[in-house]
Structure 1
Amino acid sequence: MTETTAVATKMGIDEVGARAAAIVQNVEAVIAGKREAVTSALTVLLAEGHLLIEDVPGVGKTMLAKTLARSVDATVSRIQFTPDLLPSDVTGVSVFDQASRRFEFKHGPVFANIVIGDEINRASPKTQSALLECMEERQVTADGTTYRLEPPFTVIATQNPVEMEGTYPLPEAQRDRFMARISMGYPSSADELAMLSTRETSSPLDALEPVVDLDELRGMIEAVQHVFTSQPVKEYAVDLARATREDRQLRLGASPRATLQLIRAAKAHAAMHGRDFVLPDDVDALAVPVLAHRLVPTSRAVGAHDRDSGPLIDAIVRRIVGETPVPVGSARRN
């Protein structure tokens, strides 16, 4: 038995919940007043997914990614996406070694446990696509050779709204690789005022220390994978996904990958709340962040939408959740 397996088998649900709470508290020392965004980001990390943080500049997207990465003692790399960034700048490149007289592959920044991608939609579609294989298959193929990415592997990418100048909309295939998409939103007046006081001379990120090491993180992920999901809850997740494919306001519904990732995220959500079984409430809580970014509305729905009522897709997902029958009965392990 390896050391990683030994740690994973000893990690109980109560311990997962306690360590998750410690990570959230650590992140909130830097990111105040954004509990929902913080817990959603940690949920994705424990579910071994990838996170897309979309919002206007200056609201703390990159700071959240850096703070979460700093709270875990794992390898972290950062990629600043720009229009001139090449795919090899992300994955790595083969370089000829004069001494050995052969080509050697130099690993790119994607070879890390947590990869922070700044403004991913400012890179060209070709460079964005370089991440597809990495995110789905946890590997990089270069010059006919496949290189495995060490688990856990999570991409936390930020992007500006697609209406902003100099951005390239992520294609559907790329968006579908992200387990969840969240927004930060503007801080409250009290939090913004407190920020002015705490960051006058230095950033609280500089003093942040990790509260979980890599083996402990792997143990938490292993425990999440063994959270029980009953057949009715699985059927409920499938019903939600199928409803998006049949909804008249949507021309592109959720993929089977979305259903799978919804259940994985729900298992992490349950573990963070101290349960070893998934409830329909866990699925409901994650329906918008996990499903909304994968859906494409019809032009008729866009034209009829009142912008003051909030994002159209979020409203559609919430309506579908409200209209889908919730399974009755116990979700506990028998």
Structure 2
Amino acid sequence: MLDTAAVADTFTAIQHNVERAIEGKSDVVRLALLTLLSEGHVLLEDVPGVGKTLLAKALGRSINCSVKRVQFTPDLLPSDITGVTIYNQEQGVFEFKPGAVFANIVLGDEINRAGPKTQSALLESMEERQVTTDGRTYELASPFMVIATQNPIELDGTYPLPEAQRDRFMTRLRIGYPSADAEVEVLRNHGAGNPVDTLEPVTTTHEVNALIDACKHVQVAESLERYVVDIVRATREHELIDLGASPRAGLGIMRGARALAATHGREYVIADDIKDLADPVLAHRLVLGPDAELAGRTESEIVADVVTRVPVPRGRR
């Protein structure tokens, strides 16, 4: 098992390498990497052309792992994602042909453009990290992360993700437009070619799995476990929320807080780790009531309100 200092060093090396292709978005890159170390999945909701696909490719290059992209369309079949069993006439046997989900990083582009049946094909693989077809179960690669993208402005012909599937994503991230200086760097670095093609791996999948294992051993005080539960339960009791966060959300915060502490070289979680992850982990899981919509309140604003209301425990014990 690696110590937290080694985790921090490797995490920083991966982040800096990815940022060679994604200019001016350190927070987004950091949260995506934290999600990977927490064995979670990322939902990217943003307008076209801000680097959603580039992020997945740069991350895959940096850790020298397999990356597969699936363009979700209305005619996409579940078997296109999970795989299909076909009959080999030459050998006289049935063979399983793996689908796109058999990779370390799976990029599901515009996931809301496929039908509900195809969307749900990802559920088992995201949660159980396996695919079952024709009575046989196939284990997926490790590490494994799904990065699904959605375009929030073109909703014609789309199928909104149901709450059950949104809950499978540990974090929701928005890249946003770059600053003026960062956009100049984009023109300078991307104008002559794709910078991802020049990226060299800085680690391996074996070492990433070791980082994931190290994060699991970060200590969490009982008072901070209670703090996570109090925040999650407060979303269920908030007057502007019709549906609050699930227990899975609390697990996501805890796993992310462990990873965040390790990447800072600490062997223990502090309250600020939990606060930093509250919005990306909780906001997309909430269903706002009509009063919130009339008042123009967003999920992120309500999460910030919840975090402000819940008392912070004192001390580490």
TM-score in terms of structure 2 length = 0.97
Q: 2:44 aligns with which of 43, 53, 57?
A: 53
Matched, 1:236 2:236: no
1:258 corresponds to:
249
Shift of 1:55: 0.4
State which of 292, 299, 302 in structure 2 corresponds to 1:316. Answer: 302
Indicate whether 1:14 and 2:10 are aligned: no
Distance 1:124 1:209 in 2: 37
Residue 162 of structure 1: CA displacement? Answer: 6.2
**2:204 maps to 1:218:** no
Q: 1:164, CA displacement in angstroms? A: 3.0
Residue pair 2:43, 2:169 contacting (<8 A) in 1 also: yes
Corresponding letter in the other structure for 1:57? P
* From 125, 132, 135, the counterpart of 2:116: 125
CA distance in 2, matches of 1:240, 1:262: 10
Other-structure match for 2:293: 302
- 1:128 CA displacement: 0.5
1:39 match = 30
Post-superposition offset of 1:125: 1.2
Percent identity (aligned): 56
Task: Give the distance between the partners of 1:271 and 1:77, measured in 2 at CA.
Answer: 29
Q: Is the 8 A contact 2:65 2:105 kept in 1?
A: yes
**Quick one: which amino acid aligns to residue 92 of structure 1?**
G
Measured in 2, the distance between the counterparts of 1:162 and 1:292 equals 19
Q: Secondary structure at the match of 1:275?
A: coil
Local SS of the residue matching 1:212 = coil
Secondary structure at the aligned position of 1:106 is classed as: strand
Give ranges in structure 2 of 5+ residues lacking alignment: none
Q: Which moved more, 1:97-106 or 1:198-207?
A: 97-106
Please name the residue that 1:78 is paired with: 69
Secondary structure of 1:177's aligned partner: coil
Alignment deviations for residues 62-83 of structure 1 (CA, whole Å, 9 cap, x no partner): 1112111111112221111111
- Kindly indicate whether the alpha-carbon contact (under 8 Å) linking 1:160 and 1:167 is maintained by their aligned counterparts in 2: no
Alignment check: 8 A CA contact 1:49 1:178 kept: yes
CA deviation digits over 1:148-175, x for unaligned, max 9?
1122211111111165333221111110
- Is 2:56–2:105's contact at 8 Å kept on the other side of the alignment? no
In the superposition, the TM-score normalised over structure 1's length comes to 0.93
| Match status 1:68 vs 2:54 | no
CA distance in 2, matches of 1:99, 1:197: 53
Q: Which residue identity is paired with 2:293?
A: V
Structure 1 outlier segments of 4+, above 2 Å: 99-102, 162-167
Could you report, residue by residue, the CA deviation over 1:35-63 in whole angstroms, capped at 9, with x for unpaired residues? Answer: 11010000000111001111011111111
Aligned partner of residue 167 in structure 2, secondary structure = helix
